[in-house]
Structure 1
Amino acid sequence: MPPTSRPDPPGLLRLIEWYRGSARDLPWRRPAFHDEFGAWGTLVSEFMLQQTPVTRVIPHLEAWLTRWPTPRALAAASPAEVLQQWSNLGYPRRALWLHRAAIEVSDRHDGVVPRDVDALLRLSGIGDYTARAVAVFAYGDRHPVVDTNTRRVLARAVLGQAQPGAPSRTDLDLMSSLLPEQDEDAATFNAAAMELGATVCVSRAPRCDSCPVRDSCAWVAAGRPDTGDVRRRQAAFEGSDRQARGAALRTLRQAAPEAVPLASVLREWPDALQRDRAIDSLIADGLAEADGELLSLPR
């Protein structure tokens, strides 16, 4: 349940004014982007932004939408083409999920990304955050949108905690209780909370002196107590299964559309068991196909 007491809402609503004057100029925030690509552009950007820094996403997004400016265009592509275009963006299963979602939008919704949150949730690879983000940022509907950055802002400004706890439904309930009544203001407030968490209310070194809601922040008022970092830390990439998977997939992308001998994939990898595990996991996830002693991107 949301707390019974919280900072004065007008204090948090200063975020809207701050956002309109201080937000980063990102492609998916420009009117021309929405005029050209509509909700499809928003959907693609949200897929790419999952666990990936903005600076890495921008060139990939522009190239992707130049090649596939509509769901129908992407639906007509092969999985191999999709994985090649995804390149080194990371978490390549997102590319296959986006491809499947494009097919579903084409088949079920006449090529138009749906507006309804429940309809969006029925598309491949779309969870609660992405569905609400599309409904709000593409269509202007009034829903709470909560990502990691938003949760950190809520934890500090409202709950007085240094870091948010585990994600839960209460995050949406709390954000919903703070949204302005007007749809446009509510959409801006959602974006502003994310922007604040991404650029000012950052995890390890928050810039409280430049925060527009400092005067109403519960964490600042409490003396910025250290409530512990409950985030799960990601394992090191170097020498990991993730690194082996990425190296194997890069080999297949470089060879596509041709297959490569299975024995040549990661031939020099120092851990033979990890090599085999990486290749097996690519096949299991639909990111690669084995045909006898050959391995390729999915066709």
Structure 2
Amino acid sequence: MSIKSAELVDWYSHARRDLPWRDPDVTAWQILVSEFMLQQTPVARVAPIWLDWVARWPTPSATAAASAADVLRAWGKLGYPRRAKRLHECAIAIATEHGDQVPDDVEVLLTLPGIGAYTARAVACFAYRQSVPVVDTNVRRVVARAVHGLADAGNPSATRDLADVTALLPDDETAPVFSAALMELGATVCTARSPKCGICPLSACAWRAAGHPAATTAPRPSQKYAGTDRQVRGRLLDVLRASSAPVVRERLDVVWLTDTAQRDRALDSLLVDGLVEQTADGRFALAGEGDDTGPPTPATKPSGRSGGGSPTA
């Protein structure tokens, strides 16, 4: 079974969400920024920060000229702040190596900091209107259901997933719109937990035709945030974002008293990731704001233990 592109494109024309990065005047760079921000982050949280970001730094060179600390502050509560660092590095690369223009070639995009297979194809498709397969979690789920009759897509397979979507792309100028529509359908109608099959625009769906068979794989456990290293890292960064000067260790210690080893581990990981710097006199600051900084050193207080790991935050 296949997906009829015409009915999906027609549905998208009147059902798509009014998202700011879909405005026709938005540049390739601003679309790239949205793709960085939208990774593992809901649209509602991204939209206001994206609007402020592109107003402040509308081009790669403007972003590149900002300090790493300013970028981390502007990133705010989006989470996973290493994405902000990589976006800043990406801006520098585009400004210095590509004439301040986002490349339109997927293979070239893949050479830029922070850009993987999905982001490279999303930029080529949505910014440059190219007919390339764009595969995210929502697209995989729609294809699994509508084409293969499965409740969920199972484990990702780049070769299989790209081939599946490539086979669905219409052979005309509507291919980029079809790609956006496929993602939109998965995000708003063919959702993971409560699919709205009654309003689905697809006249043919293998999963619906089979009577909505249940998934054969166990559901993934929901990711918790409370009590994780990510939460601790976020609290430590909150202190540093709010300060215009390096802070003493005690200012950081008080944000997480329930597990001091976890707090030390989280601070160590921020140093290793280059998001935080330690000054020569032992204070801490956002990247680029440490005065007379040396190489990153473990933040653990002298106790014989070493810092552990570098969790994502």
TM range (shorter): over 0.9
Task: From 168, 175, 196, give the equivalent of 2:165.
Answer: 175
| Runs (4+) off by over 4 Å | none
- Corresponding residue of 2:199: 210
Counterpart residue number, 2:302: none
Other structure's SS at 2:126 match: helix
- Asked whether the 8 Å contact 2:229–2:262 carries over to 1, the reply is yes
Match of 1:264 among 227, 232, 251: 251
Amino acid in structure 2 at the alignment position of 1:180: P
* 2:20 match: 27
Query: Post-superposition shift, 1:231?
Result: 5.6
> Structure 2 matches for 1:104-183, cutoff 5 A?
104-169=93-158, 170-182=160-172
**Of the candidates 47, 51, 56, which is equivalent to residue 36 of structure 2?**
47
Contact 2:8 2:181 in 1 (8 A): yes
Matches within 5 A, 1:163-242: 163-169=152-158, 170-182=160-172, 184-213=173-202, 215-229=203-217, 232-242=220-230
Which residue number corresponds to residue 242 of structure 2? 254
Q: Give the C-alpha shift of residue 275 in structure 1.
A: 0.6
The aligned length equals: 285
User: C-alpha displacement at 1:237, in angstroms?
Assistant: 1.0
Secondary structure of 2:242's partner? helix
Q: Cα gap change, 1:271/1:208 in structure 2, threshold over 3 Å: closer, same or farther?
A: same
The Cα offsets for residues 98-147 of structure 1, whole Å up to 9 and x where unpaired, read as 00000000111010000000110000000001000100100111101011
Q: What is the DSSP-based 3-state SS (H/G/I as helix, E as strand, rest coil) of the residue aligned with 1:274?
A: helix
* TM-score normalised over the length of structure 1: 0.92
Q: Per the alignment, in what secondary structure is the counterpart of residue 260 of structure 1?
A: coil
Q: Given that residues 170 and 178 in structure 2 are in contact (C-alpha distance below 8 angstroms), is that contact kept between their aligned partners in structure 1?
A: yes
Q: For residues 232 and 287 of structure 2, what CA distance do their matches in structure 1 show?
A: 18
2:8 paired residue among 4, 15, 18: 15
Superimposed CA distance per residue, residues 164-218 of structure 1 (whole angstroms, 9 cap, x where no aligned partner): 1111121111000010011x311011000100000000000100000011x3101
- Asked if the contact 1:28/1:42 (under 8 Å) is kept, the reply is yes
Conserved? CA contact 2:235–2:255, under 8 Å? no
Offset at residue 227 of structure 1 (A): 1.7
CA distance in 1, matches of 2:220, 2:230: 17
CA shift for structure 1 position 233: 3.0
CA shift in 2, pair 1:188/1:295, >3 Å:
same
Q: Does 1:244 align with 2:237?
A: no
Q: Which has the higher contact order (CA 8 A, sep 6+)?
A: 1
Q: 1:99 aligns with which of 88, 95, 107?
A: 88
Q: Provide structure 1 residue ranges, at least 5 long, that are not aligned to the other structure.
A: 1-5
Query: Percent identity of the aligned residues?
Result: 52
What is aligned with 2:298?
none
Secondary structure of residue in 1 paired with 2:174:
helix
CA RMSD of aligned residues (A): 1.3
- Whole-Å Cα distance in 2 between the matches of residues 159 and 177 of structure 1? 13
Amino acid of the residue matched to residue 275 of structure 1? R
In structure 1, C-alpha distance between the alignment counterparts of 2:229 and 2:14, rounded to whole Å? 43
Instruction: Please state how far the C-alpha of 1:161 moved relative to its aligned partner.
Output: 0.8
Report if the CA contact (8 A) 2:236-2:255 is conserved: no
CA distance in 2, matches of 1:31, 1:50: 22
- How far the C-alpha of 1:268 sits from its partner, in A, is 4.9
**Aligned equivalents of 1:268, 1:259: Cα separation in 2:** 16
Whether the 8 Å CA contact 1:164–1:230 is kept in 2: the answer is no
Tell me how far apart the structure 1 counterparts of residues 72 and 255 of structure 2 sit (CA, whole Å).
24
Any idea what SS the aligned residue of 1:265 has?
helix
Once the 2 structures are TM-superposed, how far is the Cα of residue 295 of structure 1 from its aligned partner?
A: 0.6
Structure 1: how far apart are the matches of 2:220 and 2:106? 29
Tell me how far apart the structure 2 counterparts of residues 168 and 128 of structure 1 sit (CA, whole Å).
12
1: CA distance between counterparts of 2:206 and 2:161? 16
2:77 maps to 1:84: no
AA aligned opposite 1:248: L
Q: TM-score, normalised by structure 2?
A: 0.88
Match of 1:3 in 2: none
